[in-house]
Structure 1
Amino acid sequence: MTSVSDPDARVEAIGVLSRFRTEFFGCLDARADGLFEVVEAMLCLDGPVVSVPELSLASVHRRGHGGLYDALASGKLNVARFTAVLAGLELPRFGGRITLAVDVSPWLRPDAECCDERMFCHVHGRGRGNAQMVPGWPYSFVVALEPGASSFTALLDAVRIGPDDDGTEVTAAQIRAVVQRLRAAGQHTDADRPVLVVTDSGYDGTRLAFLLADLPVELLVRVRSDRVYCAPAGARKGERPGRQPRHGPRMKLNDCSTWPVPDASARIDTARYGAAQIDAFARRHQRLAGDGAWAGHVGEYPIIAGTVLRVQVDRLPGDRAPKPLWLWSSAADISGLSLAGLFFAFCRRFDIEHTFRMWKQTLGWTRPRIRTAAAADLWTFLVIAAYTQLRLARRLAADLRRGWERPVADPDRLTPTRIRRGFRRLRPILPHPARPPKANRPGPGRPKGSKNKNRAPRHDVGKRTKTSGETTAAAPPPP
């Protein structure tokens, strides 16, 4: 691995970061100078971002707080062009192929009655049984995972789920768009292995596999322990004529008496969980019904076969009793599957949680009290631009550690917060496409003593239509 002291590697890293900054500026269609300096202030502010007007106090922000608000209210970003730029960056490979993770993180706005497009977001509280539904904007993110334990992920796309959207269909369209951009950028070819997409148990893996059947994509979804999968149907018993069966014997994940003999097994040693036993059951599918996401399906329900994986580890962090982990892969044939690789890929899915924490606690993703959903989308992509610059500066920023922090010899092990701490020293050697502000005087504003007659409209919270079997929500469900 090249180090920071390597001159050739340093020049190449500076060129990649500089090119991204220039291309990002070219994606700003309106208020480009103001929006670019907002991102600069995110990266160079001393301490975490706690409020929007404090960004105007950063030395790199040459405009006042009025210009900052004007940029967020009237600025525009070409999302299609910017996501194409993200897809063209160098991406990490997990086991020789691109591994993506999909997850939803909410931007909570519980007391913002004037904000549109809000939905009830499921929020996990501290302790068992403390989950609740809070109004906000749910965003679906797609990131590329790194092979080892890391605090970084390569962000590729962000989509806000609206009241009229179906979550599964939005996720499928998002994955399709990301894969198409990766192929257009030359990141994936027909000769490469299928792109691995890892999700948690909140996603309908069978439905996603059906919607993405024409793409070179392999899904790896965590499933609940009360699911039931069917084996391939055998020949019809007896000589009497009739329809051939479509489903074989059922495999109940919470009933070990229904488990067949595994088609493949592997036992690996891990540093965190001890020994892990992985059993694979090939060609397993769910029996689909005419409700939920399949309510409007025309014709016979498809048979979407995959591989069920059962993972049993020796120990869990915190002396918790280990329980079996169930996964479902959309690859029905296990001959080319690496069971250990799938397990490690799912473990790396949790790296996206580090990204969410960095966004919310340091870059201030959910700090602005933005009124419109369109402005929230713009702010989200500005945070993506700032975070991507930190990822590209991993081998350039100096480790300005505190006295109580441990030194890091490998530059790839620096956390995003420590890289952001040294970004101000790196900024002078990077291009600054934003133009300086023009001298002007602030407007008079509303006359003193006059009342605001244009009251902001109030918006209801929740879904406006029923999609995929979900009920229309006008109020949070009872506890």
Structure 2
Amino acid sequence: MHHGRGTGASGELSGLRQEFYRCLPRRADALFELTDAILCADGPVRSVAELSLAGEHRRGHGSGYAALARGRVDASRLRTALTAVSLPRAADGRLVLAVDVTCWLRPEAHTCPQRILCHTYGRGKDQHMMVPGWPYSVVVALEAGRGSWTAPLDAVRLAPGDVAADVTARQIRDVVGRLTAAGHWKPGDPEILLVADAGYDGPRLAHVLADLPVTVLVRMRSDRVLRRPVPPQPPGTMGRPRRHGGEFAFGDPNTWGTPDITIETTTRLYGPALIRAWDRLHPRLTHRIAWASHDGALPILDGTVIRLEVECLPSGAIPKPVWLWHSRTGLDQHEVDIAWQAFLRRFDIEHTFRMLKQTLGWTTPKLRSPEAADRWTWLLITACTQLRLARDLTEDLRRPWEKPRPLQRLSPARVRRGFRNLRPQLACPARVPKPSRPGPGRPAGTPNHQPATRHDVHTVTSTNTQKPKHREKTQSSDPRPRRTG
């Protein structure tokens, strides 16, 4: 059927499936077939019980929820297995990682523990809302070019009391360690590029991960104020030396000066683009928030500021300029060009979140325990990895109204359509189910005398309890205060 193409990819995919089965110490057969049902079901996943109707799922409709509730996934071993397979790379051959937080919202699940107020946007009309749920920090590897493919490598649920910045730093450190152990990065290779959005403290990440071969690229808010290097001190000057030079205010073009690098190009999606870069700029840090426990003098974290300005968005709207902070100094024009293009690829992680939620049904099950939610999350991440490895092996079963595409341009959803035809050629270690009969359950008409415990919603930090500071009416026309930290 496939005329021998992709033999190596088929062996790699079968090897991953066998290792995935070995990562399931308890209820392995039910969990493995539940993952296959996710990959082979017709249309989006609407219910865990309905997955039992797929031919690849040979067990009863209650086995799925039972396996998620009482099964077990060796997450540490599975992380190693997902990192050991082939990974996408950027155009220059380097690994590009993206990190972001996505939420499994559970607003009415009062019996679910460890729920946290999650920031959401768009549930009301242009409103930011805090909704209870389980937030997950996800790390993926990005590939070059426009597309909707990423390689999920890790997912960590944020528990009550966790600091997202500390969790992200530990997560990236573990991922880079596994990438190095798997041979994806060796001394002499280009540094791994970590791309994140404005919700992350880029200088803090760069400082914590300074001992790793990682370069940090983050978007900064348009009201930030950075500092230039200290100019040479004139001879005979008395007093304490200055630590910070002049201001570089993103909102004040008079403070920018002449950029060190200017690039004018035309993008296929955004039209003409103007990229300008200024070298050796750093934030003025203070002993608060993430730096409150720092001993001694605060570091000077110099980097390169990149301003990306495009003419229009695909929707026709006029976009705002994007400010980026690169943790390395002395960049040349080629490195600046790679940086802003890598940041645009960061948005591919949103396609992965949409695939997980809308097609694979990540937030569909009404699971009570967060441990069961973690198991379901790892099943879907493994399913995404299998789809990526099957890109060269499946046929394009396109709908009559869809345009033909080459195999490398197929979306994850279109690759999933052909996975059912590919599955018989792959390793399927799950055993045949044994005959059994369901238990008696609670007799009909008998009330439940052991209701589930109800749990309160946790807040991430104590700042949510502070009273908002109301500004005077005479200051209502003042601009937004500048962020210097």
Among 172, 175, 178, the residue aligned to 1:175 = 172
Residue-by-residue CA offset, 1:32-62 (whole Å, 9 max, x unaligned): 0010011011011111101111111111111
Q: Is the 8 A contact 2:82 2:382 kept in 1?
A: no
Worse-matched range after superposition: 328-337 or 109-118: 328-337
Among 192, 207, 217, the residue aligned to 1:220 = 217
Say whether residues 1:33 and 2:25 are aligned partners: no
Q: Is the 8 A contact 2:2 2:393 kept in 1?
A: no
Percent of residue pairs bearing the same amino acid type: 53
Q: Distance in 2 between matches of 1:139 and 1:348?
A: 20
Q: What is residue 292 of structure 1 aligned with on the other side?
A: 289
Q: Distance in 2 between matches of 1:173 and 1:21?
A: 28
Say whether residues 1:396 and 2:393 are aligned partners: yes
Say whether residues 1:151 and 2:148 are aligned partners: yes
Q: Distance in 2 between matches of 1:337 and 1:305?
A: 20
The AA in structure 1 aligned to 2:255 is T
Cα distance change of structure 1 residues 246 and 357 upon mapping to structure 2, 3 Å threshold: same
Segments of 5+ residues of structure 2 without an aligned counterpart are 471-485
Q: Is the 8 A contact 1:462 1:474 kept in 2?
A: no
Q: Distance in 2 between matches of 1:344 and 1:308?
A: 15
The AA in structure 2 aligned to 1:430 is L
Q: What is residue 471 of structure 1 aligned with on the other side?
A: 463
Q: Distance in 2 between matches of 1:335 and 1:245?
A: 29
Q: How far apart are 1:96 and its partner, in Å?
A: 1.3
TM-score (norm 2): 0.93
Among 144, 158, 162, the residue aligned to 2:159 = 162
Aligned pairs, number: 469
Among 354, 369, 372, the residue aligned to 2:369 = 372
Say whether residues 1:113 and 2:132 are aligned partners: no
Q: What is residue 229 of structure 2 aligned with on the other side?
A: 232
Segments of 5+ residues of structure 1 without an aligned counterpart are none
Q: What is residue 78 of structure 1 aligned with on the other side?
A: 74
Q: What is residue 483 of structure 2 aligned with on the other side?
A: none
Q: Distance in 1 between matches of 2:204 and 2:334?
A: 22
Q: What is residue 19 of structure 1 aligned with on the other side?
A: 15
1:414-425 correspondence runs (5 A): 414-425=410-421
1:59-458 correspondence runs (5 A): 59-94=55-90, 95-125=92-122, 129-236=126-233, 239-335=236-332, 338-408=335-405, 410-458=406-454
Q: Distance in 2 between matches of 1:55 and 1:200?
A: 36
Q: Is the 8 A contact 1:105 1:139 kept in 2?
A: yes
Q: What is residue 48 of structure 2 aligned with on the other side?
A: 52
SS at match of 1:76: coil
Q: Is the 8 A contact 2:123 2:129 kept in 1?
A: no
Q: How far apart are 1:237 and its partner, in Å?
A: 5.1
Cα distance change of structure 1 residues 415 and 240 upon mapping to structure 2, 3 Å threshold: closer
Q: What is residue 473 of structure 2 aligned with on the other side?
A: none
SS at match of 2:195: strand
Q: Is the 8 A contact 2:394 2:415 kept in 1?
A: yes
Q: Is the 8 A contact 1:195 1:217 kept in 2?
A: yes
SS at match of 2:318: coil
Q: Is the 8 A contact 1:268 1:340 kept in 2?
A: no
Q: Distance in 2 between matches of 1:475 and 1:47?
A: 47
SS at match of 2:25: strand
The AA in structure 1 aligned to 2:381 is I
Q: Distance in 1 between matches of 2:299 and 2:145?
A: 37
Worse-matched range after superposition: 287-296 or 229-238: 229-238
